[in-house]
Amino acid sequence: MADHAKTAAAVLTGVGGESNITSMVHCATRLRFVLKDEGKADAAALRATPGVITTAQAGGQYQVVIGNDVPDVFAAIQAQTSLGGGGTDGGAKGTLFNRFITMISSIFTPILWALAGTGLLKAFVAAAVTFGWLDATTTTYTILNALSDALINFLPMALAITAARYFKASEFTSFAIAGALVYPTITALNGQPDITFFGIPVTMVSYVSSVIPIIVIVWLQSHAERFLLTVLPGAVKRFLTPMIVVAIAVPLVFLVIGPLSSLIGGGLAAGIGWVFQTLPWLGGAIMGGLWQVFVIFGLHWGLVPLFQLEYQTTGQILLLGPVFAAVLAQAAAVAGVLVRSRNKNLRSLAAPATLSGFLAGITEPAIYGINLPLKRPFAFGIVGGALGGALIAMGGVFSKAFVVPSGLALPALLGNGNMVMLGIGLAVAIIVPFALTVVVGFKDPVDDTAPAAPAATDTMVLSPVDGAVVPLAEVPDAAFADGSLGKGVAIRPTSGAVYAPFDGTVVAAFPTGHAIGLRGVDGVELLIHVGLDTVKLGGEHFTLKVQSGAEVKAGDLLLEFDGDAIERAGYDLITPVIVTNGDLYPDVADVASGPLSHGETLFRALSVDSLTTAH
């Protein structure tokens, strides 16, 4: 079973520690960080972490690709830090476009899987009606349709919560605003003439499934709330602020924001419709060929609102059909690698990646683990996706639900457009990259026959501080005490200096000075964490003497700290010293006890090779 806590700890170290993180969210397969200094991130260490597929930098975010387990690793990071996820409108860095991508991913990520899951159920219900398996006049259909359609119908209310979290607005005030937009009597006014508000004409539009109005108004709400909470008297501001905000915000949407967003959405939907009617092969080829490239750079988030705008305006999503070709083409390419490769390690990766891509539409393991490193399979997938996407678009195929494109989600397309063209497009998207990968081939790695890497050897770890040894199980922090972060011991320091416990390299010198990561010449990796929760001191009472990447010798001074000041601030000074690469060094032995000075033997890190030989 994957150790999500250990992966989370390694990822935190790899991105420069909690103090280097401005905001954190996750999408379907990756952790998305906005870092204060991306130069402090160690891409090599992150990619070598068990559970991490690769890293990427795009859209103003530092992305750590995890795969299907990303929610578990995200939760583990939250448990180990004070990070709650999300961000603020000022948290993103870079260009306006990068900030837009960060905002959209932060707002849509929390509801993505629920949206995709209910959309898939809606697709199955629609397919059942199309093939005559379910009568649309029955109450069974009514119930199934309601439970599969509710989230997309009341999408503004879901987005109100996530947008409020992103913009730091009151969630329930945002919810009240969104509720007014989709209130039954308001919805019934859509299309009716002579609607006024205090004599002001209102152009009532439908807010069902809408995206733009609620995001814009919650952004404005966040600024209004901060202003009102500052200027209103303390005795009344808590109830007057939401009253004033709702009283102004809802009419503002009805009078200005809603009609403008309707014009924008209608224009975009019309533009998409024009492309797919006039040059359908071009629109399909772009979506089918470049979708996975967009995913790599995180740019696909910019298209998610377009899916929703198209659905709200037309009741269908033409953009989504060709994306099925893009996803299945990359899955087919990795299937070709599985058939052609003679490399056992590569084949062991290709098998689950193929299954994940075809069934669930999760292509990151295929792309980052196989297709991109081999280059040709990724290119063949682009070719297959472009050809298949063009054919699907030429058939006018569309979806009536938002789904994650995959084999399981194909019912979303059934009966919507030319099914012959859909079948041909999907066949081409699968056959072309598979055949090209098998026939044309790629440079097959030969590491199966390469000489074995030198065996890891046991490493003597010297005490980095003066103090008394304490068993790790007695550390008042569960993540350290149960060994989930690594095996080792703890020390109660009696002086304020930390020294190198062996010859090696500093792989992580945390800016806050509370911890330091080292890699020995034999490969052992060690974390020295001075005190518990001391990251909250923000570097106060700590002085770093080395930087990440520095070569050190045993006994070199690494950092200094004021132990008395740290304890006066209310922090436990107990210092865990743990081995973090347990896959190579799974245990420790010859652990010292009692008081000792820095430079004396603390324990021996046992390598997996020595343990295997011993048994």
Residue showing tokens 């046991």: 458
Least Cα distance to 267 among 332, 312, 204, 203 occurs for 312
Which amino acid does the sequence have at 163?
A: A
* Predicted local confidence at residue 451, as pLDDT: 41
The residue from 26, 300, 529, 541 that is catalytic is: 529
- Give pLDDT tens digits for 270-300: 777 788 888 999 989 999 988 887 776 656 6
Cα distance between residue 610 and residue 75, in whole Å? 35
Q: Where are the alpha helices (DSSP H) in 484-573?
A: 563-568
Q: How do residues 401-425 score in pLDDT, each as one tens digit?
A: 777 788 888 888 888 899 999 999 9
Dump pLDDT digits (tens) for 498-555. 999 999 988 877 777 788 989 888 888 899 999 988 877 878 899 988 887 788 999 9
Q: pLDDT at position 448, please?
A: 42
Catalytic residue selected from 4, 27, 514, 598? 27
Residue 491 structure tokens = 């020390």
Helices (H), 253-375: 258-278, 280-296, 304-314, 320-340, 344-355, 364-366, 372-374
List of residues 6+ apart from 24 with CB closer than 8 A? 31, 32, 33, 34, 74, 77, 83, 85, 86, 87
Strands 601-606, 459-462: pairing kind: antiparallel
Cβ contact 195:246 at 8 Å: no
What's the token pair of residue 407? 């084999």
Q: Is 300 a catalytic residue?
A: no
At residue 567, what are phi and psi to the nearest 5 degrees? -70, -35
Helix and strand numbers (H, E) in the chain are 22, 20
4-88 maps to which CATH number?
A: 3.30.1360.60
Higher per-residue confidence, 522 vs 191: 522
Evaluate if residue 392 carries a pLDDT over 50: yes
Confirm whether 541 is a catalytic residue.
no
Query: What is the CATH class of 459-614?
Result: mainly beta
DSSP state of 399: B
What is the Cα–Cα distance from 53 to 55, expressed in whole angstroms?
Answer: 7
Q: How far apart are CA 346 and CA 423, in angstroms?
A: 31
Q: For the chain, which residues make up each domain, given as ranges?
A: 4-88, 104-275, 281-439, 459-614
pTM given for the model:
0.54
Residue 90 has pLDDT above 50, yes or no: no
Confidence class for position 252, pLDDT limits 50, 70, 90: very high
Q: Which of 260-274, 303-317, 442-456 has the lowest mean pLDDT?
A: 442-456
CA 378/CA 331 separation, integer angstroms: 10
pLDDT over threshold 90, residue 249: yes
